[in-house]
C-alpha cells in the first residue's frame, strides 16, 4: 500500500502518455485508409494543437494555483483583433504585438485583482469578464474580419517555416520549456504550487498568496494574447470568433495532461501533450466524416469521459 | 427499567498497539448531568466516541437503559437515543432554525412536500421545552445567530431525534459569559425533564455549577468517580493531573530576564486580543497558559503578522518593527508552528523536502532556479537533526505519523533561520516520545540564544520547560508567573 502511494503519487503525470498512445494507435488502425498517418495530416495536427498548447501552459499555472480562467477565449479574440488593427494602421510589427500583449496583460491583471483583492471566485469573475471582453471585441471590429497582409508578420507569427520546421512549433517549444522551467524550478513556480496545494499553509509559510494569484491570472492573460497573435498570423487576419471554442478544449487538455483541477499539481509538458490529444481527436472526427454538429456532440462527450477518467486516476493515486 | 442511562464496564481500546483506555467503567444515571474530565490525552474524547459509535471498543460491555448495545456508527447510537452535540457545529448556516432542527429527518410532510407549517410548530414546541422560545426566532437563518444560540439549536436538533442522552463536548469553550449562563440554564431544564447529559469541559468552574457527578480520567484510567457536592476544585485538579509520571526533568533557563529582550510587545491590541505586553529574552522559553478561546493563538497570530495591530508596538532587540504579513515576520526571523498542522502547517500531498523549504524558496536560488542540491541538503540535514522517520526527503507528508508531521513543521521553521519560534500547542495529538523530542528541539533552539513562545494545553509542559509563564484570559494577559509553579496552581489560575 505504502509502496504504491510512493510511486503512485506521480501517476497523474504519466496517464496522459497512455491516453496519447491509445488514441494514436486506435486512429492509426481505424483511420489508416483515410490518411491519418500521412506526414501532411500529422503536421496538420501539430499545427492545430500548437496554439492550444500555448494556452494550455497558461492554464497549467492557473489550475496549479487552484484558480480557473474562463475568459481567455475572449482575450484571444480581442488580442488578435487589436494586433491586426494596430498593424493595419501603423504597419509596425513591434507595436502591433505589444498592443496585443497589452490587451492580455491588462485583462488578466483585472481578473487577478478581483480574485486576489476582492476575493471573488475566479470562475465567476472570469465568466463575467469573458462576456465584457468578447463584447469589446465585437464592437471594435464591427463584427468584421481584419485582414493582415504583412508577410513578415505572418511568417514570424504562425505561418512561416524555417526549413521544414513551422515557426509556430518554435513558439510552442519556447513557451513550453520556459513554462516548465518556471513552474518546477523557480521560487515563483514552487510558490504557485504551494498556494494551490494549501492556501493557508502557503500564507503561514510567508508566501504572498494574493500576489501569486494576481501573477498567474496576468500570466494567463498574456499567454492567451500570444495565442491570439499567433492565430492572426496563421490565419492572416483576426475575427471575434477566434478562440471561442478553445476554452473547453484547453481546460480539458490541461487536466488530461495531469494538472489537478484542485491545485497543487501542474505539469506543463503534460498540458502540451493534452493539447495534441485534443487536436488529434478533432482531426480524427473530421476524418471519420462527421458533420460539424456531430463533431461538437462527439467532442463534448469524449472530453467529459476523458476528464472523468483522468480525475478518477488522480484521485485513486 | 434501569436507573442507569449508560453503563459501561471494563472498556478497553487501543490504537496502533497503544492502549488508550484501560478497563474504564462509566455510569450515567437517568436524569443526571455527569462530567468527564481529564487533561489532554487522558482518553475522555476516546470514551465518548465509543459511546457515540465512532470507535469500536476492543472489549467491555455497554448497556443503554439496561440493553446491551454494539454500535457500528454514530447513526446506531442516535437510534438508541444518544446524540453528540459537537463543538464545531453541524448546522446548515443558510437554512432557518426550524429547517435545521428537523433537517435530518423531515418528518412532517404534505404529500411529497415538507410541511413547513408543522415543522415550525414542532420546532417552536421544542424550543419551548428548552425554555428558549423567547430567545430564538424560529424563522431566522442560523448564520444570523450567535454561537450560543446555535449551540441551543443544536441541542434542539438532537432532541428532535428523540435523544434521551446528550453528549456535550466543550459546549462553553467559545461562548461569552452571558451565553454560558443561558446554556447552563438550558442544561438545568433538560435535566429537569429527565434527559441524561454527559458534559465534557475544560472549564472546571462550570462543573460545580451544574453537574451532579464527575468521572476523572488520567492516562486512560478512571481515577475518581465522585459526587460534585463532596468535591472541591483543588481535589479535582489534583486527581486530574496526578503525580509526576515518566516526565523528563528539563533544565530551566533561570535568570535570563535581564538585558535587552529579543522580542517585546507593548500594549498590543488586535480585533481579538487587547493590551498585551510581554517580553522574551534571549535563551528563554516563555509559556502562555490559557484555555482554548482565551486569545492565546490570536496572540501568536498577531506577532506573526496575520492579524492587524490596532494599537501597541512590537520591538525586536529594542527596535520597533512593523510586521504586517507572515512574509515580513519570516524576514524578521520569526517563525510560527501553527495550531493545526494539517491545515495550516503542511501541504499534505507535497514531499517532506518541499514542505520544509516552502518559506525559503527565494533564499535557495542560484541564478533563477531553486537549487536542488541546497534544497536536498537542507531536507537531509533536518531529517537527521530532528530524527524524522521518513522514507526520504521525497516521501509525501500525508503518510507520516502525526509526530513526524509536526517535526516537519518545526523543521520548516528552523530552516527559515528564525531567532524567535512561536509554537501553538505543538504537542497536541502526538505521542509521548515525539512530545519529548519536540521539547528537546525547543530547548536546544533556545539554548543557542534564541527565543521561544510556547502555547500549550498541556500545562505540565509549561511547568516543565518555562521559567516564565504568562496567564491569558479573555484576550488579555492577567498575570506573569516566574519561578516554581505546579500545574495544579496553573490550572487553577487559568480558570
- Nearest-CB residue to B344 (from A200, A208, A264): A200
Give the cell for residue B120: 415550525
Query: Is A168 in contact with A51 (CB distance < 8 Å)?
Result: yes
Q: Are B26 and B85 in contact, with CB atoms under 8 Å apart?
A: no
The closest alpha carbon to B280, from B448, B454, B412, B439, belongs to B454
Q: Are residues B129 and B276 in the same domain?
A: no
- DSSP state letter for A32: G
B295 and B400, same domain (yes or no) = yes
Residue A4 pLDDT > 50, yes or no?
no
Average pLDDT over residues B328-342: 93
Q: How confident is the model at residue B41 (pLDDT cuts 50, 70, 90)?
A: low
Assess if residue B257 is contained within a domain. no
Number of domains in chain A: 1
- Distance between CA B224 and CA B231 in Å, rounded? 11
> Distance, in angstroms, between A268 CA and closest chain B CA?
17
Percent of chain A with pLDDT over 70: 94
**A187 and B361 in contact by Cβ < 8 A?**
yes
**pLDDT beyond 80 at A28:** yes
A266-299 pLDDT, tens per residue? Answer: 999 999 999 999 999 999 999 999 998 998 898 8
Closest residue in chain B to residue A181, using alpha carbons only: B369
Q: Identify the pLDDT of residue A226.
A: 98
Asked if residue B486 and residue B341 are part of one domain, the reply reads yes
pTM, two decimals, is 0.75
Mean pLDDT, rounded, for B2-14:
88
pLDDT tens digits for range B183-221: 888 899 889 888 999 998 877 878 898 999 999 998 889
- Of A102-111, B18-27, B280-289, B450-459, which has the strongest mean pLDDT? A102-111
Surface of A (239-278) touching B: CB under 8 A: 264-265
Q: Lowest-pLDDT range, A168-172, A234-238, B84-88, B101-105?
A: B84-88
Answer yes or no: do B472 and B396 share one domain. yes
Average pLDDT of span B395-418: 90
Is B446:B458 a contact under the CB 8 Å cutoff?
A: no
% of chain B beyond a pLDDT of 90: 41
Question: Reduced to 3 states, what is the DSSP secondary structure of residue A249?
Answer: helix
CA–CA dist B75, B90 (Å, integer): 15
Which of chain B's residues have a Cβ under 8 Å away from the Cβ of A259? none
Where residue B1 falls among pLDDT bands split at 50, 70, 90? very low
Is the domain of B64 the same as that of B200? Answer: yes
Say if residues B279 and B257 touch (Cβ distance below 8 Å): yes
Helix and strand element counts for chain A (H, E)? 14, 4
Question: How far apart are the CA of A4 and the nearest CA of chain B, in angstroms?
Answer: 12
Categorize the per-residue pLDDT at A7 as very low, low, confident or very high, splitting at 50, 70 and 90. Answer: very low
Disruptive mutation site among B300, B301, B307, B326 for chain A (greatest number of A CBs within 10 Å): B326
Nearest to A197 among B304, B350, B361 (CB): B350
- In a domain, residue B250? The reply is no
pLDDT of residue B389: 84
Residue in A with minimal Cα distance to B394: A6
**Which residue would you say has higher pLDDT here, B464 or A177?**
A177
Confidence of residue A13 (pLDDT cuts 50, 70, 90): low
Binned at pLDDT 50, 70 and 90, residue A6 comes out as very low
Q: Given A9, A186, A193, which is nearest B369 (Cβ)?
A: A186
| CATH code assigned at A67 | 1.10.3470
Residue pLDDT, tens place only, B106-135? 677 777 777 778 888 888 888 888 888 888
**pLDDT band of A98, cuts 50, 70, 90:** very high
B386 and B292, same structural domain?
A: yes
Min distance B291 CA to chain A CA atoms (Å): 23
Together in a domain, B398 and B431: yes
Q: Are B481 and B458 in contact (CB under 8 A)?
A: no
Chain B residues within 8 A of A6 when measuring between CB atoms: 391, 395-396
Average pLDDT value for chain B = 86
Cell of A256: 488530461
* pLDDT bracket for residue B176 (50, 70, 90): low
Residue A246 lies in domain: 11-316
Q: How far apart are CA B387 and CA B367, in angstroms?
A: 32
Give A31-86 pLDDT, tens digit per residue.
988 889 999 999 989 988 999 999 999 999 999 999 999 999 999 999 999 999 99
| A72 located within any domain | yes
pLDDT at B266: 94
Whether residues B30 and B119 fall in one domain: yes
User: Residue B114: what pLDDT?
Assistant: 76
The answer to whether residue A290 is domain-embedded is: yes
Alpha-carbon torsion B361, B364, B366, B370, what sign? negative
Q: List strand residue ranges (DSSP E) for chain A, in order.
A: 146-147, 161-162, 165-166, 237-238
Asked if the structure places residue B251 within a domain, the reply is no
Burial class (CB in 10 A: 0-12, 13-18, 19+), B139: exposed
Residue B289 maps to a domain: yes
8 Å CB contact between B297 and B455: yes
Nearest to A185 among B330, B338, B369 (CB): B369
Judged against a pLDDT cut of 70, whether residue B232 lies above it is answered with: yes
**Is residue B73 domain-shared with residue B191, that is, in the same domain?**
yes
Residue B210, sorted as left (phi over 0), alpha (psi -120 to 50) or beta, turns out to be alpha
As a residue count, chain B comes to: 495
Alpha-carbon gap, residue B372 to B394, rounded angstroms: 12
pLDDT of residue B254: 61
Relative orientation angle of helices A209-234 and A39-64, to the nearest 10 degrees: 160
* In contact, B45 and B60? CB cutoff 8 Å: no
Range of the domain at B13: 4-241
Phi, psi of A284 (to 5 degrees): -60, -45
CATH number, domain at B137?
3.40.50.300
Residue at which a domain ends, from B211, B241, B271: B241
Nearest-angstrom CA–CA distance, B122 and B120 = 6
Residue B291, domain member (yes or no): yes
Nearest Cα of chain B lies from the Cα of A239 at a distance, in angstroms, of 38
Backbone angles phi and psi of A88, in degrees to 5: -65, -40
- Indicate which of A206, A211, A265 best probes the interface with B, i.e. most B CBs within 10 Å of its own CB: A206
Residue B254 inside a domain? The answer is no
Q: How close A279 comes to chain B (CA, Å)? A: 32
* Alpha carbon B351 to chain centroid, angstroms: 27
B chain contacts of residue A265, beta-carbon cutoff 8 Å: 349
Cβ distance A204 to B330 less than 8 Å, yes or no, reads no
Is B447 contained in some domain?
Answer: yes
Residue A8's pLDDT band, with cuts at 50, 70 and 90, is: very low
Task: Tell me the per-residue pLDDT of B347-405, one tens digit each, with 9 for 90 and over.
Answer: 999 999 999 999 999 899 888 889 999 999 999 999 999 988 888 899 999 888 778 89
CB-based contact B326 A203, cutoff 8 Å: yes
Query: Which of the two residues, B491 and A187, has the higher pLDDT score?
Result: A187
pLDDT at A52: 96
Kindly state whether residue B318 falls inside one of the protein's structural domains.
yes
Yes or no: say if A199 and A209 are a contact pair by the CB < 8 Å rule: yes
For residue A4, being part of any structural domain is answered with no
Residues B271-325 have pLDDT tens digits of 999 999 999 999 999 999 988 788 999 999 999 999 999 999 999 999 999 999 9
State which of B186, B207, B241 marks the end of a domain.
B241
With a threshold of 0.95, tell me whether the complex ipTM lies above it. no
**Does the structure show a pLDDT above 50 at A214?**
yes
Assign B472 a pLDDT band (cuts: 50, 70, 90).
Answer: very high
B237 and B267 together in one domain: no
Helix (H) or strand (E) holding A302: helix A292-316
If pLDDT is split at 50, 70 and 90, which confidence band does A129 have? very high
Q: How far apart are CA B144 and CA B94, in angstroms?
A: 9
What CA–CA distance (Å, rounded) separates B20 from B44? 10
Q: Long-range contacts for A125-129 (Cβ within 8 Å, ≥24 apart)? A: A126/A68, A126/A69, A126/A70, A126/A71, A126/A72, A127/A70, A127/A71, A129/A71, A129/A74
In a domain, A6, yes or no: no
B211 and B269, same domain (yes or no): no
Q: How many domains does chain B have?
A: 2
With beta carbons under 8 A apart, name residues in chain A contacting B364. Answer: 187
Distance CA(B150)–CA(B166), nearest Å, equals: 16
Between residues B160 and B433, the one the model is more confident about: B160
Question: Nearest Cβ partner of A185 from B329, B359, B370?
Answer: B370
List all residues of chain A from 199 to 218 with a beta carbon under 8 Å from chain B: 200-208
Residue B263 neighbours by CB distance under 10 Å: 25
Amino acid at each position: 500500500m505504502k509502496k504504491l502511494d510512493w510511486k503512485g503519487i506521480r501517476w497523474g503525470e504519466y496517464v496522459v502518455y497512455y491516453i496519447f498512445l491509445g488514441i494514436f494507435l486506435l486512429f492509426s488502425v481505424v483511420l489508416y485508409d483515410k490518411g491519418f498517418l500521412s506526414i501532411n495530416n500529422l503536421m496538420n495536427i501539430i499545427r492545430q494543437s500548437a496554439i492550444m498548447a500555448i494556452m494550455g501552459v497558461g492554464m497549467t499555472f492557473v489550475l496549479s494555483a487552484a484558480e480557473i480562467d474562463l475568459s481567455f477565449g475572449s482575450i484571444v479574440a480581442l488580442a488578435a483583433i487589436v494586433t491586426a488593427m494596430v498593424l493595419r494602421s501603423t504597419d509596425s510589427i513591434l507595436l502591433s504585438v505589444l498592443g496585443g500583449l497589452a490587451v492580455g496583460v491588462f485583462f488578466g491583471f483585472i481578473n487577478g485583482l478581483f480574485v486576489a483583492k476582492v476575493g471573488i471566485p475566479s470562475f465567476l469573475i472570469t465568466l463575467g469578464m469573458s462576456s465584457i471582453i468578447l463584447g469589446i471585441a465585437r464592437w471594435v471590429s464591427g463584427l468584421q474580419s481584419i485582414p493582415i497582409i504583412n508577410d513578415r508578420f505572418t511568417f514570424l507569427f504562425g505561418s512561416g517555416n524555417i526549413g521544414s520546421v513551422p515557426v509556430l512549433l518554435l513558439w510552442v517549444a519556447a513557451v513550453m520549456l520556459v513554462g516548465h522551467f518556471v513552474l518546477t524550478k523557480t521560487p515563483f513556480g514552487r510558490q504557485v504550487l504551494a498556494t494551490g496545494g494549501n492556501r493557508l499553509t502557503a500564507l503561514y509559510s510567508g508566501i504572498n498568496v494574493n500576489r501569486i494569484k494576481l501573477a498567474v491570472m496576468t500570466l494567463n492573460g498574456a499567454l492567451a494574447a500570444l495565442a491570439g497573435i499567433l492565430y492572426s498570423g496563421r490565419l492572416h487576419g483576426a475575427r471575434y470568433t477566434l478562440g471561442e471554442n478553445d476554452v473547453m478544449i484547453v481546460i480539458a487538455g490541461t487536466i488530461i495532461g495531469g494538472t489537478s483541477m484542485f491545485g497543487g499539481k501542474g505539469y506543463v509538458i503534460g498540458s502540451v501533450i493534452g493539447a495534441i490529444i485534443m487536436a488529434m481527436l478533432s482531426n480524427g472526427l473530421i476524418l471519420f466524416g462527421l458533420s460539424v454538429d456531430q463533431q461538437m456532440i462527439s467532442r463534448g462527450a469524449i472530453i467529459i469521459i476523458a476528464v472523468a477518467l483522468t480525475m478518477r486516476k488522480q484521485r485513486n493515486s | 427499567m434501569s436507573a442507569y442511562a449508560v453503563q459501561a464496564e471494563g472498556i478497553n481500546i487501543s490504537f496502533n498497539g497503544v492502549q488508550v483506555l484501560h478497563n474504564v467503567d462509566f455510569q450515567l444515571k437517568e436524569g443526571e448531568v455527569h462530567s468527564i474530565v481529564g487533561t489532554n490525552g487522558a482518553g475522555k474524547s476516546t470514551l465518548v466516541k465509543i459511546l457515540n459509535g465512532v470507535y469500536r471498543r476492543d472489549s467491555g460491555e455497554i448497556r443503554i437503559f439496561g440493553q446491551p448495545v454494539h454500535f457500528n456508527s454514530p447513526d446506531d447510537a442516535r437510534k438508541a437515543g444518544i446524540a453528540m452535540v459537537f463543538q464545531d457545529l453541524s448546522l446548515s448556516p443558510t437554512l432557518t432554525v426550524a429547517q435545521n432542527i428537523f433537517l435530518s429527518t423531515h418528518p412532517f410532510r404534505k404529500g411529497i412536500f415538507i410541511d413547513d407549517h408543522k415543522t415550525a410548530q414542532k420546532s417552536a414546541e421544542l424550543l419551548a421545552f428548552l425554555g428558549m422560545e423567547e430567545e430564538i426566532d424560529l424563522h431566522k437563518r442560523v448564520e444570523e445567530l450567535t454561537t450560543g444560540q446555535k449551540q441551543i439549536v443544536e441541542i434542539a436538533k438532537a432532541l428532535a431525534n428523540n435523544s434521551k442522552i446528550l453528549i456535550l463536548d466543550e459546549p462553553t469553550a467559545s461562548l461569552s459569559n452571558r451565553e454560558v449562563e443561558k446554556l447552563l440554564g438550558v442544561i438545568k431544564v433538560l435535566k429537569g425533564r429527565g434527559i441524561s447529559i454527559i458534559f465534557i469541559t475544560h472549564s472546571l468552574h462550570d462543573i460545580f455549577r451544574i453537574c451532579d457527578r464527575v468521572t476523572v480520567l488520567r492516562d486512560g484510567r478512571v481515577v475518581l468517580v465522585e459526587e460534585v457536592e463532596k468535591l472541591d476544585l483543588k481535589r479535582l485538579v489534583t486527581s486530574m493531573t496526578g503525580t509526576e509520571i515518566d516526565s523528563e526533568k528539563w533544565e530551566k533557563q533561570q535568570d535570563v530576564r535581564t538585558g535587552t529582550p529579543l522580542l517585546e510587545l507593548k500594549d498590543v491590541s488586535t480585533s481579538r486580543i487587547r493590551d498585551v505586553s510581554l517580553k522574551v529574552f534571549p535563551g528563554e522559553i516563555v509559556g502562555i497558559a490559557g484555555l482554548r478561546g482565551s486569545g492565546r493563538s490570536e496572540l501568536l497570530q498577531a506577532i506573526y503578522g496575520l492579524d492587524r495591530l490596532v494599537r501597541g508596538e512590537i520591538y525586536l532587540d529594542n527596535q520597533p518593527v512593523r510586521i504586517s504579513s507572515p512574509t515580513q515576520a519570516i524576514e524578521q526571523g520569526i517563525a510560527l508552528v501553527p495550531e493545526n498542522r494539517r491545515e495550516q502547517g503542511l501541504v499534505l500531498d507535497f514531499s517532506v523536502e518541499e514542505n520544509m523549504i516552502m518559506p525559503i524558496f527565494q533564499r535557495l536560488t542560484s541564478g533563477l532556479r531553486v537549487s536542488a542540491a541546497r534544497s536536498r541538503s537542507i531536507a537531509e540535514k533536518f531529517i537527521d537533526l530532528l530524527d524524522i522517520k521518513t522514507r526520504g526527503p521525497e516521501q509525501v507528508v500525508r503518510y507520516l505519523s502525526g509526530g513526524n508531521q509536526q517535526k516537519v513543521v518545526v523543521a520548516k521553521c528552523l530552516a527559515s533561520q528564525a531567532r524567535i519560534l512561536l509554537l501553538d500547542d505543538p504537542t497536541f495529538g502526538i505521542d509521548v516520545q515525539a512530545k519529548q523530542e519536540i521539547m528537546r528541539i525547543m530547548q536546544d533552539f533556545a539554548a543557542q540564544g534564541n527565543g521561544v513562545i510556547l502555547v500549550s494545553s498541556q500545562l505540565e509542559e509549561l511547568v516543565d520547560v518555562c521559567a516564565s509563564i504568562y496567564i491569558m484570559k479573555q484576550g488579555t494577559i492577567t498575570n506573569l508567573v516566574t519561578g516554581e509553579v505546579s500545574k495544579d496552581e496553573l490550572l487553577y489560575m487559568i480558570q
